[in-house]
Structures are given as C-alpha cells and as structure tokens.
Amino acid sequence: MSEKLYAWLLRLYPAHFREEYGDEALRLFRDRARDERGFFPRLRLWLDLFVDFTISVPREYLHVPAPRVAAAAPPRFNGLPAFYVLQNESPRPAALLFGGALSLVALTTCWVSLNEAHNISNSAAPPFAGARNYQEFSRSSRSESGQTAPRYASSHTARTTAQPGTPDLSERSRIVESAIANVKEHYVDREAAQKMADALAMHEKRGDYNAVADPAAFAALMTQHLREVTPDRHLTFDYFEEPLPPPTVAQGAEVSPQYREAMKQQNCTFEKVEILPRNIGYLKLNSFPDPDVCRVAAMAAMTYVNHADALIFDLRDNRGGSAEMVQLIGAYLFDHPEYWYNPREATSAQSWTQSPVPGSDLAGKPVFILTSSRTISGAEQFSYNLKMLKRATLIGETTAGAAHAGVFHRLDDHFGMGIPEVRAINPYSDGDWAEAGVAPNVQASADAALDIALKLARARLAKK
C-alpha cells in the first residue's frame, strides 16, 4: 500500500528523473520500508520523504539534464519562427493536475485576501464619507445660528500625526485631552459633558489607553467609555485610516467650485428619472445634493414624475448629503406640513415640511423606497421619516446605520468625534437609525428590490 503511494508520488518528479532514477528511488523506499518497521520508524520515514519531496521536486524541475551525447543543433529554417523551451516533452497529466491544484490554491488565496481588503475598505468608507457629511451638515447649522468660529480643536489640526497604527503614548494623551476639551465645550448636556470628561481623564490617568495598540480599538474604547457615562449613540469617537481632509475653516458656508462642477457633471446625482410601464415613476438618486446647487434639478425631477400613479425612489447607492434636500424632496409627498425628524437640528419651525408643494400631485400616491446596506446618512433619514410616517414601503436591505447626528470635530489627521450639540425630538422612539440602520418593510436582497417594488406597485394600482 505505502509502496504504491510512494510510486504514485514519484510521478511528481519530471520525466528525466523518473526515467533515470525512478526504479532506484522506489527500491530505496522499499529497502527503508523493510528495515524501518513499527509506528515511529515508519512515521520518521514518511517525514523524511515529505522533506525530501519538498526540497528535491522543485530542484529537479529547475534542472536540465546534461546530454549524454552531444546532440547536433537542430537546423533552423529561414523565415520560420523558432521557439525554445526548457523541456521538449509535453507536460504529463499528473503535472497538469498538480499545476491546476496549485493555481486553484493561489486563486483562492488571492480571492480571499481581496475580499478581506474589500471588507476593510468598505467598513472604513462609510464613516469617512460621513466625516464629510458631518462638515456639510455643520455648515448649515452654523449658518443658521450665525456661528462662524472654527469648530475644530485648533491646537491639533495643523499638526500631522505619526503613521496610522503607531500613535505613540504622548500622542494618545494629547488626543484624549483634545477629546475632553471638545466634549466639555460642545456636548448638549453640560452636566453629562463634565462627567464624561472626568471619566476619560480617569481612564487616561489609570493608563487604560496605553495598552491598546490598535488605533481603531483605541477609538472603540474611547467611545465605550463615553457611553458608559451617557448612553448616547450619536456620540462617537472615530478613527479614520485614511487621513482626514485638512480643516476647511475659511471656506465657511460656501459650496466648493469642485462640488458645483461635479454636480453639474453628474446631473446632481439623479442617475435616472423615468416613467416605467403602468405609469410608475422611478427616481434613482445617488445622493441628496446641496440645494444651493441642485434645487432646480431636484424640482425638475419631481415635476417629471408628478403625474405618475406610483413612485419608486431607488436609494440603493445613495450616500446621503444635505438634510435640507432630504426634506425638500420629502415635502412633495404630503398635502400638509409633517414633522420631519432630523437628529442634527434642534426642533424648530423648520422641522416641518413645506407641504403642500404648489402643483404637486404626488401627495396621495403610493411610494416605494429601495434600500441596500450601502444606503447611508441622509438617505437613511429620508427612509426613516417616510417609514415612520407610514408614507412609504421600504424594500431591500437594512441600511448602513449612520445618523451622523453629532457635529464632526476633527481632532487630528486620523481621529475625530461626532458630538451632538442639539436636542432633536424624535417622536417615534428613543432610538433612530444610528448604528442599527433602518429596517425595510420588505426584506430582500438589494438586487431583487426593484422587481419586488414593481410587483407591489402594480398590485396596489390594480386594486384601484
């Protein structure tokens, strides 16, 4: 049995070796197997053979046997291409099989590692995108309150940090200090802010942060310590592997020319505005763009679908954006003002939709929203409000779960905090979609969501 196995394994060697020494090798194996009986000697024999194979098989493939007799060089034909190969025999089935298995292993490894990388970048992307959104949102709240002072920890913004993954201890303590200062200055509840600041200082003094090498784990621990004092899911301490964009204090409320140009090129991210068969309006919207730039585009899109009998908002690729735009589009769907929950704004007269929108016929029409696990931030706010108001049927996957309710504060190139500065009234429940995401009414894979929505819309219209 073991001799047969060894004879089979010998096929791993190239033909020139097998021809020359195959029989000898097999005989040597037979001799050793005869002399080395018992469990341990046999085990040692196979271990020896394993080592022998791993060393000598690759070596033999690299070796070209010296010709026993000098061969005449093959004649070359003029004008014909000539190819030189290391071995003039075609590969054996065993070699092909071996090669196939090796390629499969390599491909699997590649695939797994690529997947890993993809997961990592995916998990890093939303908060990063969120960081930009925070800034976008804080801009609107600033302009309303008239506050123009920089909201960043000024002593740290200009400084570049060490490489990600290796913030040294002194840096750690500076980040903790900066976090304490920001919480005390900005958190909506002064008393809780003081308690959180004390807790962070206590953990810092005890050296709890020194032991955590991984910056993401450090950020998670900070968040945990903050929430132990105040269970507020809008309060976050975040680590960003990619360096955060430099603070843009001077730009204030102005929309950047780059953003304006990008929106122009992308039709304000209204990817599709169509009337589908059975007069079903379909809007594929990939962000909620700033109304300063895109108000006309949004109004045109809503006007285009104004006479549809049902409406599908495809937010599966929507990355959020301006809360003002979220509310502006939502307003078309009601014939009276509705309270519109925005975790980032204190409840005010602005918290009601400007409904009815003159000329809008959409108020009573069935609305469907397609969601995916990538649907995030402003798109979640849109979905959440319409779901809670029972104004839309959500179809697809639970959304990403980023409320970004806190105003973003950049602590340095890699760390930032989301600190809620206002109290918004959530009339539906204590928790919004922060971290949990918005659950759909009809759970389905993102890919299947459109078909299901069309089916439901047709069924609803048929009842009429």
**Residue of the chain from 3, 8, 37, 48 that contacts another protein (CB under 8 A):** 48
Residue type, 369: I
- With contacts defined by CB under 8 A, name the span among 52-60, 202-210, 213-221, 362-370 that binds another protein: 52-60
CB of residue 28 vs another protein: minimum separation in angstroms? 5
From the list 15, 33, 60, 309, which residue makes contact with another protein (rule: CB under 8 A)?
60
Q: How far is the CB of 176 from another protein (least distance, A)?
A: 51
Q: How far is the CB of 41 from another protein (least distance, A)?
A: 11
> What is the x/- site pattern for another protein, positions 69-98, by CB under 8 A?
-----------------x------------
Helix (H, G, I), strand (E, B) or coil at 170: helix
Query: How many CB atoms are located within 10 Å of the residue 105 CB?
Result: 10
How many CB atoms are closer than 10 A to CB 300? 14
The residue with tokens 């169509």 is 274
- By the rule CB under 8 A, 194 interacts with another protein: no
C-alpha triplet 453, 454, 460: angle, nearest 5°:
85
Nearer to another protein, 49 or 422 (CB): 49
Coil/strand/helix, residue 381 = helix
Q: Sign of torsion, CA 125 126 128 132?
A: positive
- CB nearer to another protein: pick between 24 and 430: 24
55 near another protein (CB under 8 A): yes
Structure tokens at 41: 């000697």
How far from 395 is each of 229, 280, 281, CA to CA, in Å? Answer: 37, 16, 16
Instruction: Please report whether residue 261 would count as binding another protein according to CB under 8 A.
Output: no
Length of the chain (residues): 464
Lookup: tokens for 54: 């791993």
CA 227 and chain centroid, separation = 24
Q: How far apart are CA 195 and CA 16, in angstroms?
A: 79
Is the previous residue joined to 356 through a cis bond, with omega within 30 degrees of 0? yes
Count of residues of this chain found to bind another protein when the rule CB under 8 A is applied: 29
Encoded one letter per residue, x for contact with another protein by CB under 8 A and - for no contact, window 298-317 reads --------------------
Site string for another protein, 5-24 (x = CB under 8 A): --------x---x--xx--x
- Per-residue contact track with another protein, 26 to 45, x per CB under 8 A? xxxx-xx-----------x-
Residues in contact with another protein by the rule CB under 8 A = 13, 17, 20-21, 24-29, 31-32, 44, 48-49, 51-53, 55-57, 59-60, 62-66, 86
